[in-house]
Amino acid sequence: MGRNLLAERPTYVVGIGLHRYQHKTDTTYVQLGLTAVRAALADAGITWPDVETAYTGTALLGMGASRIMLSRLGATGIPMAQVENASASGSTAVAQACLDVASGRTDVALALGVDKPRGGLPMAPSEAGISNLEGGTVVPFTHFALLASEYMAAHGVTPEQVAGVALKNHRNGARNPFAQRQQVRSMDEIMADPISGSMTRLQCCPVGEGASAVIIASDDGIDRLGIDRSRAVRVLASATRSEGLYPPGVGIDAALTVETAQAAFDQAGVGPLDMDVLEVHDAFSIEELLYTEALGFCEPGQAAFLVESGDFDLGGRCAVSPSGGLLAMGHPIGPTGTGQVAEVTRQLRGEAGDRQQPGARLGLTHMVGVGAVCVVHVLQSPGA
Amino acid sequence: MPDVRARYPQLIRLAPAGSDSSPTIVGQVCGACGRRSFPPDPYGCEACGAPVDRLTTTELAATGVIHAVATVHRHHHPRPETPFTVATIVLDDGVTLKGVLTGDTSAAAVGARVRGVAVPWDTDDDGTEVVDLRFETVADHH
Three-class DSSP category at A57: strand
Chain A segment 351-370 residues within 8 A of B by beta carbon are: none
Chain A segment 191-220 residues within 8 A of B by beta carbon are: 194-199
CA-to-CA distance for A174 and A24, rounded, in angstroms? 20
Best residue in B88, B95, B132, B133 for a mutation probing chain A (most A CBs within 10 Å): B88
**Nearest-neighbour CA in chain A from B114: distance (Å):** 15
- A74 — contact with chain B (CB < 8 Å)? no
Q: Write down the pLDDT at residue A1.
A: 65
What is the number of other CB atoms lying within 10 angstroms of the CB of residue A175?
A: 19
Cβ-count burial B111-138 (b if 16+ within 10 Å, e if not): ebbbbbbbeebeeeeeeeebbbbbbbbe
Domains, chain A, in order of start with CATH, read 5-118+206-380 (3.40.47.10)
Partner residue facing A134 (CB), from B46, B68, B100: B100
Task: Confirm if A341 and A197 have CB atoms less than 8 A apart.
Answer: no
Partner residue facing B72 (CB), from A130, A137, A153: A137
CA-to-CA distance for A299 and A254, rounded, in angstroms? 13
Q: Write down the pLDDT at residue B141.
A: 58
Contact B96 A248 (CB under 8 A): yes
Distances (CA, A) of A377 to A111, A238, A239, B90, B125: 14, 5, 6, 35, 56
CA-to-CA distance for A125 and A380, rounded, in angstroms? 36
A340 Cβ neighbours under 8 A, 6+ residues apart = A90, A91, A279, A323, A365, A366, A367
Partner residue facing B70 (CB), from A133, A196, A248: A196
**Nearest-neighbour CA in chain A from B67: distance (Å):** 7
Q: Could you check whether the bond before residue A206 is cis, i.e. omega within 30 degrees of 0?
A: no
- B73 — contact with chain A (CB < 8 Å)? yes
- B81 — contact with chain A (CB < 8 Å)? no
**Nearest-neighbour CA in chain B from A250: distance (Å):** 10
Helix (H) or strand (E) holding A117: none
Q: Write down the pLDDT at residue A223.
A: 98
Contact A136 B77 (CB under 8 A): yes
> For residue A132, what is the nearest residue in chain B, using CA coordinates?
B39
Three-class DSSP category at B21: coil
CA-to-CA distance for B79 and B10, rounded, in angstroms? 21
> For residue B47, what is the nearest residue in chain A, using CA coordinates?
A245
Q: Print pLDDT tens along chain A (384 aa).
A: 689 999 999 999 999 999 999 999 999 999 999 999 999 999 999 999 999 999 999 999 999 999 999 999 999 999 999 999 999 999 999 999 999 999 999 999 999 999 999 877 778 888 888 888 887 899 999 999 999 999 999 999 999 999 999 999 999 999 999 999 999 999 999 999 999 999 999 999 999 999 999 999 999 999 999 999 999 999 999 999 999 999 877 889 999 999 999 999 999 999 999 999 999 999 999 999 999 999 999 999 999 999 999 999 999 999 999 999 999 999 999 999 999 999 999 999 999 999 999 999 999 999 999 989 999 999 999 977
Q: Write down the pLDDT at residue A249.
A: 74
Residue type at position A295: L
Task: Confirm if A17 and A212 have CB atoms less than 8 A apart.
Answer: yes
- B33 — contact with chain A (CB < 8 Å)? no
Angle between helices A285-294 and A140-155 (to 10 degrees): 60
CA-derived radius of gyration, chain A = 19
**Nearest-neighbour CA in chain B from A228: distance (Å):** 49
Measure CA B69 to chain center: 15
**Nearest-neighbour CA in chain A from B97: distance (Å):** 8
Chain A segment 119-138 residues within 8 A of B by beta carbon are: 129-138
CA-to-CA distance for A288 and B92, rounded, in angstroms? 31
CA-to-CA distance for A239 and A379, rounded, in angstroms? 12
Cβ-count burial B32-58 (b if 16+ within 10 Å, e if not): eeebbbbbbbeebbeeeebeeebbeeb
Q: Write down the pLDDT at residue B20.
A: 76
- A155 — contact with chain B (CB < 8 Å)? no
Task: Confirm if B76 and B47 have CB atoms less than 8 A apart.
Answer: no
Dihedral (CA of A71, A63, A120, A159) sign: negative
Q: pLDDT confidence of B142, banded at 50, 70, 90?
A: low
Task: Provide, as residue numbers in chain B, all residues whose Cβ is less than 8 Å from the Cβ of A142.
Answer: 70, 72, 86
Query: pLDDT averaged over chain B?
Result: 93
CA-to-CA distance for A339 and A365, rounded, in angstroms? 10
pTM of the predicted model as reported, rounded to 2 decimal places: 0.96
With a cut of 60, say whether residue B35 has pLDDT above it: yes
CA-to-CA distance for A308 and A371, rounded, in angstroms? 32
Helix locations, chain A, DSSP H: 5-8, 29-44, 65-70, 89-102, 140-155, 159-173, 187-191, 219-225, 252-268, 285-294, 303-308, 325-328, 334-349
CA-to-CA distance for A128 and B42, rounded, in angstroms? 9
Task: Provide, as residue numbers in chain B, all residues whose Cβ is less than 8 Å from the Cβ of A157.
Answer: none
CA-to-CA distance for A202 and A163, rounded, in angstroms? 9
Task: Provide, as residue numbers in chain B, all residues whose Cβ is less than 8 Å from the Cβ of A204.
Answer: none
- A150 — contact with chain B (CB < 8 Å)? yes
Task: Provide, as residue numbers in chain A, all residues whose Cβ is less than 8 Å from the Cβ of B114.
Answer: none
In this complex, how many residue pairs, one in chain A and one in chain B, have their CB atoms less than 8 Å apart?
A: 94
CA-to-CA distance for B44 and B26, rounded, in angstroms? 16
Average pLDDT of the segment spanning B10-20? 87
CA-to-CA distance for A351 and A198, rounded, in angstroms? 36
Q: Write down the pLDDT at residue A180.
A: 98
Contact A139 B47 (CB under 8 A): no
Task: Confirm if A109 and A215 have CB atoms less than 8 A apart.
Answer: yes
CA-to-CA distance for A323 and A342, rounded, in angstroms? 10
Q: What is the dihedral of CA A94, A97, A103, A108, to 10 degrees?
A: -130
